[in-house]
Structure 1
Amino acid sequence: MPQMMPLNWIISFILFIVIFIIFNIMNYYIFLNNNNNNTNNKIIKNFKNLNWKW
């Protein structure tokens, strides 16, 4: 039905925005290091040399 096409585009757009926001939030918290925990000091030392090359 052509009448339902705008609704389909809006739902697809909202779904894309939600997935995009969730992806960005996960990406932020994955690379966030907390320096207060002593058990993760070895892991943090390994990640200090991690730099983007572009």
Structure 2
Amino acid sequence: MKDLAASAAKASPPVGANVWLWLAGHDINWWVAAATIFYIGLQSFYLIRNKGRKGAAE
């Protein structure tokens, strides 16, 4: 288990740099689209979990 943790610690700077470059390469329209898809997914999850009821007080 220590080997896995050591490997993850050694790999984190290049992985983090690649993620940062990927995030910085997208414009605001991409972020708005991603946030909208996430919000719709969250609403869908909530409605499926509560069997279609909108209000929690029932």
Q: TM-score, normalised by structure 2?
A: 0.43
Which structure would you say has the larger RCO, counting Cα contacts within 8 Å and 6 or more residues apart?
1
Q: TM-score, normalised by structure 1?
A: 0.47
Higher-Rg member (1/2): 1
The structure in which a higher percent of residues are helix is: 2
